[in-house]
Amino acid sequence: MSSAESQVLSASHFVQGALVEGNAVSHRSRDLGADFTTPALDLDAIVMPRSQLPPLLDVKLTEIIDFLVEVGERLHLDRNPYLQECLEYIAATNPLPRRVVENLYREAPLYLGRQILESMVESNFANREALDGWAESVDAYGSKLAVRAFPPRIVHMLAGNAPAGCIASIAQGALVKAVNLFKMPSSDPFTTVAVLRTMADVDASHPVVRSMTAVYWQGGDESIERTLYRPQYFDKIVAWGGGPAINNVIKYLGPGIQLVSFDPKSSISMIGRVWSSR
């Protein structure tokens, strides 16, 4: 990343444990129209072929949680040079006020606290044993069943409106032992790489780190998405975003590739008497 304001911002990529720098491609951020550059996208490098087993396949959940907790401890803004650097750059691309981004960054370690990670597992999986091996059960008819979760290959389309949200996605991807490709938003092409660099500083060869890739391309770029969004490469697209972004992904869905959508929802807020009387 470059710091001089006169220079064009440079966003790096992170590919399975390795930082990839470069400014081969120029982009303009969607919200604030800021110019930034990224390295050229090497499609072969960012897709782990199915002939290669997911690095986390045989890593125990407790070991993954231990590792994430250790990373979380290094995500304190005051001590983390990568996040500090990000905070400077993100002002150019993200509509959120710097103060808000800073507050969000200060919460970064909380996403990887042991308690929150454990509760994430408990609240999502009826039997956590299935994440580590064959979990046996007997159904209502007396048939014996054994279930084991197999690591999925996931594209995470990250949202730009919550710069620290990527940490939750990283945690979720690691807990299900997925092979992860994070597609960063134009309003924040920095934070995910900063978090993953912090992770690589703990142990660059750790299976969690080798399961993580974060890159930027302009959302909707058919030449890239038509190539990547195929069942031979990915099982799921986890999409955070507005209507147009979700609609754009839907056209690539089919047998073998599904959408996990965190899309706009209809919601209401109830304001109680206590607040209205203030």
Name the site residues for another protein (rule: CB under 8 A): 42-44, 46-47, 49-51, 223-224, 226-228, 230, 232-233
Task: Write the secondary structure of 13-59 as one string of H (helix), E (strand) and C (coil).
Answer: EEECCEEECCCCEEEECCCCCCEEEECCCCHHHHCCCCCCCCCCCCC
CB of 119 to another protein, least distance (A): 37
Contact 244, 264 (CB under 8 A): no
- Nearer residue to another protein within complex by CB, 190 or 229: 229
Residue 249 tokens read as: 């992904």
Q: What is the DSSP letter of 146?
A: E
CB of 43 to another protein, least distance (A): 4
CB of 39 to another protein, least distance (A): 15
CB of 223 to another protein, least distance (A): 6
- Nearer residue to another protein within complex by CB, 175 or 215: 215
- Nearer residue to another protein within complex by CB, 188 or 225: 225
CB of 42 to another protein, least distance (A): 8
Token look-up 């919460």 returns 107
* Torsion angles phi and psi, residue 93, rounded to 5: -110, -25
CB of 46 to another protein, least distance (A): 8
Determine how many CB atoms are found less than 10 A away from the CB of residue 74.
18
- Let me know the angle formed at the C-alpha of 261 by 260 and 267, rounded to the nearest 5 degrees: 140
Determine how many CB atoms are found less than 10 A away from the CB of residue 49.
8
Residue 183 tokens read as: 């597609």
- Nearer residue to another protein within complex by CB, 190 or 233: 233
- Nearer residue to another protein within complex by CB, 42 or 122: 42
Decide: helix, strand or coil at residue 111.
Answer: helix
- Nearer residue to another protein within complex by CB, 42 or 66: 42
